[in-house]
Amino acid sequence: MSEELKARTLKVEDLIEYQKGAVVSKEIIRKGTGTVTIFAFDKGEGLSEHTAPFDAMVQIIDGKAEITISGNKNFLEKGEMIIMPANESHELHATERFKMILTMIRS
């Protein structure tokens, strides 16, 4: 974690910028017990179907996203969150550009 982020009030959506045609990520916290990462997805971008060995919580902080978990499509917008269960396939797609916080907890 960057020292300039510690012990100060931050506007999370300002910590990462959109880039045309890209998915941008920035790790905020990395510990043995988990990570917190922010992402910015340009419209039409995404992460292909995959699994993770840990539960993960996605919080949308700007825009709208389509998150599919085990074949079930979920449409989220700013202020909403979803928990992606460990070992279940999931993928993310930017129906319009969006930013999110990904919190992964290791068990």
Tell me the average pLDDT across 95-102.
97
Distance between CA atoms of residues 28 and 51, nearest Å = 22
More confident residue, 55 or 3: 55
Number of other CB atoms surrounding residue 61 within 10 Å:
21
pTM of the shown model: 0.91
Distance between CA atoms of residues 9 and 64, nearest Å = 25
> C-alpha angle 80/84/90, rounded to 5°?
110
More confident residue, 10 or 85: 85
Quick: pLDDT tens for 58-68: 999 999 999 99
Nearest to 99 by CA among 69, 78, 73, 84: 78
